[in-house]
């Protein structure tokens, strides 16, 4: 088994490598791919030094799986070339997510739709993953009519340069501004670029991607995405209107019993999800469950996850594990 990691020196790529070790994923050859200036440098993996290779060398090696986290342009340019070499690509960019020919996968929800013919598999947006993880089991039980979601997203979702901007601001250092305003001691209602409808690209991902993953184009979803001065972990306030009536006790039970979710919901003991404690964890944490008293059949919830792990790298690795376990590569 050969696995290529494209974007191996980036924030998500480094977590992918870490998870391949942590989860003891079966592989004989690792092919870390990075920019040309990094080719020939070494990284540490499973106690050994492994040289970074060029994109072409990785393609020539014909790996069974290539994990991409190097941006949409790179994915569009090189994912098809890996496929031509017989490789199955799992892509963490937005390049293929809404393409009807590519499946958008959260393994706990819809991995069963994958086949050997799926050669480019899309990994959803980080904010989408944690939202659908929390909502999918409730949709099965109650049906969903409408979702209102507001996100509070860490700067690591933007990348290393954003983390550096915040560190510079905290240390009084002039440096590159990734955001149009300071981020330290601030929050920006602005994740990704603005679109013609005045929503941001991140907000529209939260509208479109859940419909595809949950297999329901009728879902009414509206989103506001906010960037906050936190290095790791995304939080979401979700208001969900169900088609059927519910009891809070039943909702708690469903969440408690769902793989990949952790229920943290006890107002009496101040127990609720927080990004500080979701850091470096693979689960999605759910709490602040309460009925919306302004309209029927509607629930408020607070959902937190590590955006670099379950929101990106962990989900990607889980897809690879599913493919290997089911003989699809």
Query: pLDDT tens, 316-326?
Result: 999 999 999 99
Regarding whether 250 and 165 lie in a shared domain, the answer is: yes
pLDDT score, position 186: 98
pLDDT score, position 193: 96
Regarding whether 32 and 132 lie in a shared domain, the answer is: no
Catalytic residue among 187, 190, 191, 234: 234
Question: Could you give the C-alpha distances from 7 to 15, 126, 229, 314, 321, in angstroms and in order?
Answer: 11, 17, 25, 15, 19
d(CA 20, CA 34): 17
Query: pLDDT tens, 213-252?
Result: 999 999 999 999 999 999 999 999 999 999 999 999 999 9
Regarding whether 37 and 8 lie in a shared domain, the answer is: yes
pLDDT score, position 59: 98
CATH code, domain with 220: 3.30.360.10
Query: pLDDT tens, 93-118?
Result: 999 999 999 999 999 999 999 999 99
Mean pLDDT score of the chain: 97
Question: Could you give the C-alpha distances from 106 to 208, 253, 261, 290, 311, in angstroms and in order?
Answer: 15, 22, 13, 26, 10
Give yes or no: 126 in active site.
Answer: yes
Query: What is the count of structural domains for the chain?
Result: 2
Average pLDDT over residues 40-59: 96
Regarding whether 317 and 301 lie in a shared domain, the answer is: no
311 close to 234: Cβ distance less than 8 angstroms: yes
Number of Cβ atoms within 10 Å of the Cβ of 101: 8
Average pLDDT over residues 125-137: 98
Query: pLDDT tens, 178-215?
Result: 999 999 999 999 999 999 999 999 999 999 999 999 99
Regarding whether 148 and 105 lie in a shared domain, the answer is: no
Regarding whether 275 and 258 lie in a shared domain, the answer is: yes
CATH code, domain with 115: 3.40.50.720
Regarding whether 206 and 318 lie in a shared domain, the answer is: no
Nearest to 324 by CA among 18, 20, 11: 20
Regarding whether 262 and 153 lie in a shared domain, the answer is: yes
Regarding whether 266 and 146 lie in a shared domain, the answer is: yes
Domain of 102 in residue numbering reads as 2-124+312-325
Give yes or no: 190 in active site.
Answer: no
Regarding whether 143 and 49 lie in a shared domain, the answer is: no
What is the share, in percent, of the chain residues with pLDDT greater than 90? 100
pLDDT confidence tier of residue 50, bands split at 50, 70 and 90: very high
């Amino acid at each position: 088994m050969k696995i290529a990691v494209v974007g191996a020196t980036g924030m998500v790529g480094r977590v992918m490598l870490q998870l391949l070790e942590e989860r003891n994923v079966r592989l004989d050859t690792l092919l870390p791919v990075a920019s040309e200036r990094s080719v020939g440098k070494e990284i540490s993996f499973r106690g050994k030094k492994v040289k970074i290779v060029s994109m072409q060398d990785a393609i020539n090696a014909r790996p069974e799986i290539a994990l991409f986290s190097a941006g949409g342009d790179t994915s569009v340019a090189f994912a098809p070339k890996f496929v031509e070499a017989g490789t199955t690509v799992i892509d963490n960019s937005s390049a293929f997510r809404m393409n009807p020919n590519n499946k958008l996968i959260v393994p706990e929800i819809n991995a069963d739709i994958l086949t050997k013919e799926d050669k480019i598999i899309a990994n959803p947006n980080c904010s989408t993953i944690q939202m659908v993880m929390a909502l999918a089991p409730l949709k099965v039980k109650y049906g969903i009519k409408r979702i209102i979601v507001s996100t509070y997203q860490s700067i690591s979702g933007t990348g290393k340069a954003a983390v550096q901007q915040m560190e510079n601001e905290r240390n009084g250092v002039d440096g590159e501004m990734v955001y149009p305003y300071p981020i330290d001691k601030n929050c920006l209602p602005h994740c990704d670029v603005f679109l013609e409808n005045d929503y941001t690209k991140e907000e529209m991902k939260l509208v479109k991607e859940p419909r595809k993953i949950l297999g329901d184009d009728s879902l009414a979803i509206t989103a506001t995405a906010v960037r906050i001065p936190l290095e790791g972990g995304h939080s979401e306030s979700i208001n969900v209107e169900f088609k059927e009536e519910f009891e809070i006790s039943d909702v708690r039970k469903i969440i408690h019993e769902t793989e990949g979710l952790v229920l943290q919901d006890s107002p009496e003991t101040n127990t609720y999800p927080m990004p500080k404690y979701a850091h470096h964890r693979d689960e999605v944490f759910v709490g602040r469950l309460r009925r919306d008293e302004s309209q029927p059949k509607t629930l408020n919830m607070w959902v937190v996850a590590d955006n670099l792990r379950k929101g990106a790298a962990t989900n990607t690795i889980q897809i690879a594990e599913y493919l290997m376990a089911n003989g699809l590569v």
